[in-house]
Amino acid sequence: MIRVALAALLVLPLAAQTAAKPAPPTEDATIERFRKHATPRPVAPAAPLSAEERNTIRRFKEAKSSVVFLSAVSPAQDTKTLEPLKLPAGSGTGFVWDEWGHIVTNHHIITLEDGGKRVADVEEVEITLADGKTYKGRVIGYSFAFDIAVIQAFAPLEAMRPMPLGNSNKLHEGQTVLAIGNPFGLDHSLSRGVISALQRKIDTGYGNQIPNAIQTDAAVNPGNSGGPLLDSGGRLIGMNTAIVATRGEGSVGVGFAIPVDTLNRVVPQLIARGRLELPRMGFETLNAAVALQSFGIQRGLVVSMVEPDTPAGRAGLLPLKVDPQGALLGLGDVLVAYQGVPIESNGQLMAMLELEPPEELVVFDVLRDGKTIQITLNLRKGRKPLPKL
C-alpha cells in the first residue's frame, strides 16, 4: 500500500501538468488560416491514352455484352409447407457461343457436391446479361472429360451476341490476353496479362487431365471459371477454368484456360446430342448416393440394368437382382475398375471414355458375390461391317 501511494504521488503531478499545458497559439492559428483554402483542387490535364490502352478499352466494351453471370439453381422443398423451392447452388461466368442462345461455361459450375464429391448436376440456371436482366436457362449438354457445359438461354435472341472466335494453335508465349469474368461475384471484371506457357494440362475432379491448356498470368479468381480469355484482337482463344491458389484462396498469377480449338470441337457435339458420342455398351449404373444408402457401396459402380443383345448383355454382365414383381432382391455386379484403372465415380468413367473412346475390347474388373472377376466387352461384335470400296 505504501509503494502504491508513493507511485501515485510521483505520477499525478506530472499528469496534471501535462493536461494543463495549453497548445501553442501558433498551431491553432495555422489550422484556422489553412481552413480557408478548403476548395476543390484543379484537375491536371490528362495524358492521351496509349494505343494499347485504347485497344484494351475497345475490346472490353465489345466483349462485355457477350459475358454473362450464371447462378445454378437446385430444386428443394419447404419442410413446412412442402412447396417447391429453388435454392442457389453455385455461381460463375459464361459467355454467348452463338446467336441461338447457347451459353458455354465450365461443367463444375453446375455440379452439386457433397464432401468434395459430385452427387448430381443442376438442370436449371439463372442467366444475368450485361444489361442486368435475368433469364432462365437449362443445361442441355456437358462433358466430364473437358469440364464443359452448354446452357440454352431463354432470352431474346437479339440479346445474344457471340464474340468472334480465334484459334489456339497459333498462339505464342508472351502475347497479350484479356480475361473477363465475375470473380467473387463482382460482375464483368477485366484483367490483363500475357500467355505464360502453352501445352499445359489441367487436372479435373475425375482423374483425368485436359490437354493443351493455356497458362496465363492474367488475374483469375474464384468466379472467373467459365469466362472468356481473349487475344488483343478481341477474339475468343480460351475459357478460363482453373487457378493455382495458396490454401484455396485467391489467384497467385497462374491461371489455366481450355483452348478454343477444344471448345470448337466439343461444344457443337454437346449442342447436337447433349454428350460426346460414346460407344454403346448396354448397361446403366446406380447413382452413387443411392448405391451408398441402399447397399453401402462406397467404391465402384452398381450395375442397375443390362440390355440384351448389347456388348454388356453378351458378355454376361449382371444387373440388380429383382423378383418377377420388380421387388429388389440384392446386388448383381459392381464395376470396380476399367482397363485396369480403379473406378471412383460415374463421372470418372465417362471422362475416360470421352478422352479415349474405345473401338474394340474393354475389360472391367467386376465384384460379383464377394469375388473380383474380369469381364470383357466386345464393342465391335454385332456391328454391321463397313461397305467395301
Q: Which residues are catalytic?
A: 108, 147, 225
Alpha helices, H only, the chain: 2-20, 25-35, 51-64, 260-273, 288-295, 311-315, 346-355
d(CA 219, CA 223) in angstroms, rounded, equals 12
Neighbours of 172 (CB within 10 A): 8
What is the residue-wise DSSP string for 5-65?
A: HHHHHHHHHHHHHHHHPPPPHHHHHHHHHHHTT--PPPPPPPPPPPHHHHHHHHHHHHHHT
Q: 3-state DSSP call for residue 137?
A: strand
What does each C-alpha distance from 191 to 56, 176, 220, 229, 257 come to in angstroms?
A: 10, 11, 8, 10, 14
Which residues make Cβ contacts (< 8 Å) with residue 311, sequence separation at least 6? Answer: 279, 280, 281, 282, 377, 378, 379, 381, 382
CA 137 and chain centroid, separation: 17
**Closest to 336 in 3D by CA, of 378, 291, 372, 379:** 372
Is the CB of residue 180 less than 8 Å from the CB of residue 299? Answer: no
Is the CB of residue 106 less than 8 Å from the CB of residue 92? Answer: yes
| Half-sphere exposure for 338 (CA within 13 Å, toward CB) | 21
Which class for 28: exposed (0-12), middle (13-18), buried (19 or more C-beta within 10 A)? exposed
Q: Name residue, grid cell 491448356.
A: 213
Residue 153 carries which side chain, given as an amino acid letter? Answer: A
CA 36 and chain centroid, separation: 57
Q: Name residue, grid cell 458378355.
A: 315
Q: 3-state DSSP call for residue 140?
A: strand
